[in-house]
Chains A and B, each alone.
Chain A
């Protein structure tokens, strides 16, 4: 399919990080849920860990450009999201699965993903192929034309992942994507994550330490809106050090030990 290649497409990348936050503060309701966060992430699968209320969802929402930061800088794919920028162009390169994921129950999986593809302003000629590809990649090809209300929770969430990747985004934000997935589906999901992580920046917010440890190239641990730890999954058991934290696995023990140490060190 012969096509024209624009100059913008081949212009050199001007930014260093896919996500770059400096002293980021984002409000959620009355609280400052993200409170002075510094973070730099690029290609790869990054796990975002933290206890409930740590600010994970708020952080993911601000990167998805649906929440405006209160202060600090946040640069997403080279665009600073505080200023007056073209959100449309930026959002076309982002895929987002919110934590509270809802859908139209009478729509089929295909119709749902097609609707999202329309919201993402994908060219109509490309949409059927992209929708089919996304549905196949998440393993829902056999259920593609069943209504969303007939799907189990895990399958519905997979449809949610399909809508997030339909536009082959450069930046993929998944907030609790494994909720409701059974162990086999989780394995398939991790394989998909690894595939995506080869050339996409993927941020997976989850409270399940094991998911993250298995699939991610690196981990970010936040608490009370601040960065606590950033490193590779193998560092978790090591970081526990002398203290034996609580948890069933070495990763979980490392995680709770790091968290406790951080909290004790707070003034």
Chain B
């Protein structure tokens, strides 16, 4: 089981293999939990979203087989989770209680800068660092998390027009920083 990649695990889950499902959970739930907790301050909501995500994977594994397209091994798991998070936030927004993530505090220096720069690219690194937290949050939601403008608006709790304005400003700022 440990030698299988996630693709093979999903294939087995589709056939009702509980052990494969548990293994997929073991491998991906810490990653998913950490990532979700960074976007939503409400742990109960995060638990709800995670439960819905894995339940969806269990139910529809046969249609997710072969879903790791675009070079991302578990990106599709994130896509499911992100959309569930947006749906849950919409429900809470309607009820008037919106648990937003606290934005990352600005820039304390750390020792592993160089190693991480290699992962992202030095120029992009510093360009992203220079963005204000508002703009960064929009860019992260749209580019990294793959959300649409409307979904980003729900996630961040701001109007759609604001999201678009910030995205445009972020792109301009990045372009300027990279040129």
| Residues of A that sit less than 8 Å from B by CB | 1-5, 7, 9-13, 110, 125-126, 128-129, 131-133, 136-137, 141, 144, 168, 170, 191, 194-200
Chain A proximity mask over B64-80: 1 for CB below 8 Å, otherwise 0: 10010110100110111
Provide a sorted-by-A list of 15 A–B residue pairs whose CB atoms are within 8 angstroms: A1-B145, A2-B72, A2-B144, A3-B143, A5-B142, A9-B148, A12-B165, A132-B60, A133-B87, A144-B59, A168-B150, A170-B150, A195-B91, A198-B90, A199-B153
A150 to B66, CA, bound (A): 30
A4 to B149, CA, bound (A): 13
Complex contacts, B146 vs chain A, CB 8 Å: 1-3
A117 to B80, CA, bound (A): 17
Q: Is the pair A136, B79 in contact by a Cβ cutoff of 8 Å?
A: no
The 3 lowest CB-CB distance pairs between A and B, nearest first, are A1-B75, A128-B63, A10-B167
Q: Does B171 contact A (CB under 8 A)?
A: yes
Q: Is the pair B91, A1 in contact by a Cβ cutoff of 8 Å?
A: no
Q: Is the pair A13, B161 in contact by a Cβ cutoff of 8 Å?
A: yes
The B144-174 residues at the A interface (CB cut-off 8 A) are 144-146, 148-150, 153-154, 160-161, 164-165, 167-168, 171
Q: Does B93 contact A (CB under 8 A)?
A: yes
- Tell me, rounded to whole Å, the shortest Cβ–Cβ distance linking B80 to chain A: 5
A159 to B143, CA, bound (A): 32
Q: Is the pair B63, A5 in contact by a Cβ cutoff of 8 Å?
A: no
Q: Is the pair B150, A125 in contact by a Cβ cutoff of 8 Å?
A: no
| Residues of B that sit less than 8 Å from A by CB | 52, 56, 59-60, 63-64, 67, 69-70, 72, 75-76, 78-80, 83-84, 87, 90-91, 93-94, 142-146, 148-150, 153-154, 160-161, 164-165, 167-168, 171
Complex contacts, B56 vs chain A, CB 8 Å: 129, 132-133, 136
Q: Is the pair A133, B59 in contact by a Cβ cutoff of 8 Å?
A: no
A195 to B84, CA, bound (A): 13
Given contacts A1-B145, A5-B167, A199-B154, contact A136 B160 (CB under 8 A): no
A5 to B167, CA, bound (A): 9
A195 to B79, CA, bound (A): 20
Complex contacts, A1 vs chain B, CB 8 Å: 70, 72, 75-76, 78-79, 145-146
Given contacts A131-B63, A141-B59, could you give 8 more A-B pairs where the C-beta distance is less than 8 Å?
A: A2-B143, A5-B167, A129-B64, A132-B59, A133-B83, A136-B52, A144-B59, A198-B94
- Tell me, rounded to whole Å, the shortest Cβ–Cβ distance linking B40 to chain A: 16
Q: Is the pair B64, A128 in contact by a Cβ cutoff of 8 Å?
A: yes
Given contacts A1-B70, A1-B146, A132-B63, contact A10 B91 (CB under 8 A): no
Complex contacts, B63 vs chain A, CB 8 Å: 110, 128, 131-132
A128 to B87, CA, bound (A): 17
Q: Can you name the residue of chain B whose Cβ is closest to the Cβ of A127?
A: B63
Complex contacts, B60 vs chain A, CB 8 Å: 110, 128, 131-132, 144
Q: Is the pair A125, B59 in contact by a Cβ cutoff of 8 Å?
A: no
Q: Is the pair A10, B75 in contact by a Cβ cutoff of 8 Å?
A: no
- Tell me, rounded to whole Å, the shortest Cβ–Cβ distance linking A45 to chain B: 10
A7 to B52, CA, bound (A): 33
Complex contacts, B167 vs chain A, CB 8 Å: 5, 9-10
Q: Is the pair A125, B165 in contact by a Cβ cutoff of 8 Å?
A: no
